[in-house]
Amino acid sequence: MIFSLIKKAILWVFNMLRIFRFLDGKVVVFDFDGTMTAFRYAAFAERLLPCLDSEVYEHSKHNNLYAGAYVPHKSSELEKVTPNGEHAARMLGCMQWLIEQLGPERVFVLTRTELTLIAKKNEAILSNFNVRPDHIFHVQDANDKEKVLDAIMQRFQEDIWFVEDSFKTQLNAEEHSATKQFRVHGINISEFLV
């Protein structure tokens, strides 16, 4: 049992170092929900969200999906509960570590967000990750991510790496930039698994 845990820890460290070495010095854009967080709003819940996806806008007017969010490297608790009794999103320790190592100057967050959640999501990002406030971008539709990625590429005049949990969003971004001077390179969150 102990040997197995040690082996898993060593594999995790080597995997994160491999990913860091690959991304070091590059412009990296991270999706938030499902990429920087576990996409389940309770540790062992049966649902991904506390409501239907079509109800998130209304639900978020009175509830904060990110309040009291569990932060693995700062807490030993398995889960946190929001003031209204719901479970909160869980921040991923491996992503916190990686973003900390990359530094804030070349790291961005690009996330699809309901209007009612922008301030709450910003607070969760800024309190849990080493990201500059002006490097956080929200879009209402996942298809609008390509425009923001274009702007980031133009700012840096170089290729960018896009870490995302949706293959469709990544493929669209890669295809959108395929004929441009600078390109988007998709990295699916599955790449971070040991």
pTM (2 d.p.): 0.83
Q: What is residue 78's predicted lDDT score, i.e. its pLDDT?
A: 45
CATH class for the domain made up of 2-37+92-192 = alpha beta
> Closest Cα partner for 48 from 68, 33, 32, 29?
33
pLDDT digits (tens, 9 = 90+) for 8-54: 889 888 888 999 899 999 999 999 988 998 765 554 455 666 677 77
| Phi, psi (degrees; rounded to nearest 5) at 41 | -90, 20
Domain spans of the chain, in order of start = 2-37+92-192
pLDDT mean over 94-105: 92
Q: What confidence tier does 101 reach under pLDDT thresholds 50, 70, 90?
A: very high
Phi-psi region of 107 (alpha: psi -120 to 50; beta: other; left: phi over 0): beta
CB 72, CB 92: distance < 8 Å: yes
Q: Is the pLDDT of residue 82 over 70?
A: no
pLDDT mean over 104-110: 97
SS3 43: coil
Q: What is residue 92's predicted lDDT score, i.e. its pLDDT?
A: 85
